[in-house]
Chain A
């Protein structure tokens, strides 16, 4: 089982991004996804900066993947995806079918991110023929569905194994819109957003009228209100045949999460997940916001 660090979902200042990746260089993480996946207007780092970070992390022994934009609306945005897909020597995470098309047309391999809609093994097999090497399961699928998909895939997919990655820790990416909700919350139109999302490095909490955390706003992206945490579900995830657990970067605490997950591979979870603000409902075939306590790991 490997551990990956997903792309940073929020808009952080350039220095913060550099410091973040410097801080994880020596941590026990196997794969790092780099790049802007949410909003094309976020340009604190240029492509060259991401490439320099990629080199730094690769020299520390990390497998580096370049992630691409999820919602592509303008031709300029499509061009930025084309540029990333033209990078030699890096695996690409496709978050829109545009990147799947660009890579497969070149006969190059790719990884399908969580918003490439793969809900069954036939889709997985078709994309494997086109170059898919790894997929990140859509966050709304359950462990039970994953087990069924991977069982079916055994019969359908070619000899080479497809790697499966499961979003395991962080705010779940739930939706993308043309509208920037962060700008809207400040009374600004998207075309004059003033990059207000820089003020919200962990997103903005959305609460119901009785104070329940419902969603988190992150520009054009809407995330879960609760943090997804599958730490105690790791034995079950391993049993389904998944290969990689994804941790989504947060401004603080990511190092502790990495350590906890690494420890859990050795059956030693070390962070307290009884906290009600965590959710793991999707994995248990329930509403995503639910918190299922019937864990096996660490409970005797």
Chain B
């Protein structure tokens, strides 16, 4: 099982490579990938250095070109595919049918992975992408229970990669328009969710208020920890009650089910966080490398160590973690 780590810039890539990643995933500095944040990602020159560094250390490079191009600038996605193929990266992670079609037809040697944004959750959907674009692997949306992942392993036509750690998308990826409904920009179209340009903070009578395009996402009393106003983690009112209607600020952590993921034959575990710092990438990569090595050294005695969880919790949203949809009660 491969440990796939995020790298939003060169220092993060180095941190992942130096601390035990088997593969890194990166993106170009434009809207062709789902982490199109200012100051993030790789320009043409930097990406060459990145690929060279990773390959020199036998770490695979996966390039995310996983947003949905709209007509006016389709050529930008075409150029991204061409560039990735010319760089001889190990795989491109894509979601849009036209992008996959172009890549499969133009660069038949290029390995394709279906992005989580492709939103394939069942064997028929996976078969579609296998039949038409010969994808080798698919990243599963964070909507399946562990039992459902196991069942899908029984009839998937491609390798499966699952999310192991990081910020928790609670909606089926690739099928969430919440961000564009509030701000006009979405993961599918613009590579962003709850974009920073739409965030504003207001302090009034000791209460700190976070807003997204003027919509109140949360209010914090003095002493409460204020989090980034990701709209699905806000506190709203339903039936007169105020609570985290969709989800609490929390991160996914699957260290507990790592043995299961090995046993059912998952090909890769993915760490979320291309928008996070090199220090985050270093720490998460170290913990996961240790956990995986510990399991591989002796699967029967594998135990999640307290220091791993402590380390990961300190990096998590709201400093709490969850198994998310893998666990039925969460659903």
Contacts and interface: CB of A to CB of B under 8 A. Distances in A.
Given A71-B175, A174-B181, A177-B170, A217 B242 contact: no
B89 interface: no
B71 interface: yes
A221 to B, nearest CB: 10
A73 B144 contact: yes
Interface residues of B, number: 70
Contacts of A99: 124
Interface in B254-271: none
A172 B177 CA distance: 10
A121 B98 CA distance: 8
Contacts of B102: 122
Main secondary structure of the interface of B (DSSP, over half): mixed
Contacts of A151: 71
Contacts of A15: none
- Most chain B beta-carbon contacts within 10 A, residue among A100, A102, A205, A287: A287
Contact of A96 (B69, B122, B219): B122
Contact of A145 (B71, B148, B174, B329): B71
A207 B127 CA distance: 41
A189 B96 contact: no
B170 to A, nearest CB: 5
Nearest to A85: B124
Given A74-B148, A98-B122, A126-B97, A152 B71 contact: yes
- Most chain A beta-carbon contacts within 10 A, residue among B95, B170, B235, B236: B236
Contacts of A101: 124-125, 127-128, 131
Interface stretch (B7-15, B182-190, B309-317): B182-190
A127 interface: yes
Interface in B37-82: 68-72, 74
Given A115-B175, A174-B181, A206 B238 contact: yes
A97 B128 contact: yes
A208 B98 contact: no
B153 interface: no
11 contacts: A72-B121, A78-B123, A96-B119, A101-B124, A117-B68, A122-B102, A152-B71, A172-B181, A175-B176, A190-B331, A209-B209
Interface of B: 68-72, 74, 95-98, 101-102, 119-125, 127-129, 131-132, 142-145, 148, 151, 170-172, 174-178, 180-184, 186, 188-189, 209, 213, 215-219, 234-239, 241-242, 245-247, 324-325, 328-331
Nearest 10 A/B pairs, CB to CB: A122-B98, A98-B124, A288-B181, A148-B71, A178-B325, A119-B68, A97-B125, A178-B143, A101-B128, A175-B176
